[in-house]
Amino acid sequence: MAASLSAQLSASQPWPGLAAYDESAQAFFQGRDAEAEALARLIRMAPLTVLYGRSGLGKSSLLKAGLFPRLRAACHLPVYLRLDFSSGAADPVEQIARRLAEEIAASGLEAPTRDPGESLWHWLHRKDFELWSADNRPWTPVLVFDQFEELFSRTGGDATRVGAVFEALADLAENRLERAVADSRRGREALDLITQRYRMLLSFREDFLPEVRAWQAQVPSLLRHDLRLVPMSREQAVGAVQRAGDAVLAPGVAAQLVDFVGALGQAAGTQTIEPALLSLCGAQLVRRLPAGGRIDATLLAEAGDDILADFYRDALAGLPDSVHRFIEDHLLQGDRTRGSYARAEALQQGFVTEAQLARLTDEHRLLRVEQDSGVPRIELIHDRLVDVVRAARDRRAALREAEAGQEAQRRAAEVHARQQAEAAAARLRRSQQGLVAALVVAVGMLGAALWQTRQARDARDEAVQARTVETIAKNAANENARLAETRLRQTTQLLREQYGWVGEWPSAPEDLRVQQALQADQVLRQRRGAAGVGGAGDKLAAAGGATGGATGGATGGAPTTSPVRIEAFVKGLDEDKVDNALRELGYAVERPAARVADTETNALWYGSAVPDEDIRVVALALMRAGVNLREIGPIQDTVAKRELPLIQLGASKRVVNAPVWTVERLLQAEFKR
């Protein structure tokens, strides 16, 4: 957290959640006095001290809020170090030297200035390296390396880089001559090669103890003075909660809060608690308090499960589905207990990345890494989370099952609709073929009859036969007109059902509108592939047949995922029509308020970064849905929007009488920029 955590904590909010306490918040940090005193004693005894423990036990808080005030009281200057081991960062040893200089200056201590290019070892071993306060008291710097495990986890396993850092720290810890000084005798008279006027402390997660221990041969004093941080006992936790939260806790609820947080099992007869979860639950409960209220058993019972569920949801927010599946499928053993998974295998199999694991262990503390027979294994930080994770897993499984059922229903409905359309089209074709055959036979028979009759009848009889032919032809024409009207009604109905455009049954002008819709659908299917537009195109093709028409323009369909987004200024007049037209295209659609509310959508504007093909695809989809486009042109909005990959759909009163765009005109158009 920031340097002023105390400004965010108060008697009414004494817990920082999962953030570490800092030195300014020491008054709120309770329950670790014995461990802080033990660390201070080890630092006074030896140049190198090691602190390690499981994730979630509060090592950073112990250092900042517990140890640092005690060091300052004993004239020791704590220099907090969280080294950056990324490839572009400064040399880690140079980072240490800079931080030391910064702390000396911030504390107002007098000290010799570090020469340009002077190594940290050389600076600390100069005979004139002494720190003096304004009241003439000597101070000793203490280099505190927090989360030192990042040397291994964030250097990509670069053995050369890890070795260089350890070599420099080993020279400091063991008071050995650094290589540059050992290779040259020049300037040694200005150095104190015996005294160590500094102290060092390494703090790291317990699961990295094997990596640290591998350097013990090079640094014999590495684990000679160490402190293993263990979970709080129940008595420690209850006392810490009561002292910190006295102003917000109802009488007797401190013990209930501790027992709830831990769901404390028995381990050798002693109950233990994770301080990180204790702080998390305390902070969340305070946020739910009414003004002037106190945490009581009722609030704890009502809010308890929600606290952990909210914590789980927030920890996984923004992470990919693979991380959710890894936790829910691999870190539960049955439905009641935690499981674990080898850290190396989880990374190798792509379930989680180093950065994601660091976020879930160090930042949100949802997970931790424990040693099991020498193998680091990932597990949930606490058994209390098992029910939350199981519920999340069951919800995801139910959602997948529901989605699969909906998809199966959709596919079945699509197949049924296609079969119905194909059957209707087949009946229509058979009817047409029968009518044509009947007409041919009738005309043939009539011709034979006329030939015979002309031999025996007079002119009056010939006139009668002529009227008969006229009647038959007229009846056939009427039947064809009836079939054409039936087909037009079928195609119009499909357009209505699929794309939402409405109106009276087509007259002659409306017939042109239907043909344009069919032609637009045919072109879209050619450009985006047979499955790219969905089932509606097949239905229309079956009902209306090929419409022909121009299919020129650029080939190749719009991509499934496009950088182009759409702003649709739709209104009640044609909202469904425009929504249904855009639904299958795959563009991101935003819905600003309509600027012209009393005119149907008639204009499409595009930014200069929109490809021509995207303009055509959107326009064709609108035509297919029955939208009468009367203007297609560049965006006339602000400069910023004119340059974007953005298509705007709306209404313009100035073009209500302009000609309606046709499919042929659209495919041949060259769009201005």
- The secondary structure of 379-420 as a DSSP string is EES-TTHHHHHHHHHHHHHHHHHHHHHHHHHHHHHHHHHHHH
Residues in a beta bridge with 84: none
pLDDT value of position 485: 64
Give the 3-state secondary structure of residue 52: strand
Give the 3-state secondary structure of residue 356: helix
pLDDT value of position 645: 93
Place of tokens 């794309």: 499
**What is the distance between the alpha carbons of residues 386 and 367, in angstroms, rounded to a whole number?**
12
Q: Which two tokens stand for residue 524?
A: 């879209």
**What is the distance between the alpha carbons of residues 330 and 405, in angstroms, rounded to a whole number?**
26
CB 181 within 8 A of CB 191: yes
pLDDT value of position 604: 95
pLDDT value of position 555: 32
Q: What is the DSSP letter of 126?
A: B
Q: How far is CA 49 from CA 63, 142, 148, in A?
A: 12, 10, 13
- Which residues in the chain land under pLDDT 70? 1-7, 86-87, 154-157, 185-187, 263-272, 304-305, 371-374, 382-384, 431-432, 434-466, 468-469, 472-473, 476-477, 479-511, 528-561
Contacts of 224 (CB under 8 A, 6+ apart): 46, 48
Q: How far is CA 594 from the centre of its chain?
A: 31
pLDDT value of position 403: 80
**What is the distance between the alpha carbons of residues 359 and 340, in angstroms, rounded to a whole number?**
18
Largest CA distance in the chain: 148
CB 193 within 8 A of CB 125: yes
**What is the distance between the alpha carbons of residues 414 and 518, in angstroms, rounded to a whole number?**
19
- C-alpha closest to that of 622 among 669, 668, 574: 574
Sign of CA dihedral 250, 256, 262, 263: negative
For helices 275-287 and 234-244, give the axis angle rounded to 10 degrees: 30
How many other CB atoms sit within 10 Å of the CB of residue 107? 16
For strand 341-342 and strand 375-380, is the pairing parallel, antiparallel, or unpaired? antiparallel
pLDDT value of position 243: 93
**What is the distance between the alpha carbons of residues 510 and 413, in angstroms, rounded to a whole number?**
29
CB 511 within 8 A of CB 495: no
What does the pLDDT look like over 210-234, one tens digit per residue? 888 888 888 888 889 999 999 888 8
Specify whether the backbone of 303 is left (phi greater than 0), alpha (psi in -120 to 50) or beta: alpha
Please classify residue 68 by burial: count the beta carbons closer than 10 Å to its beta carbon, then call 0-12 exposed, 13-18 middle and 19+ buried: buried
pLDDT value of position 477: 63
**What is the distance between the alpha carbons of residues 193 and 85, in angstroms, rounded to a whole number?**
29
pLDDT value of position 531: 33
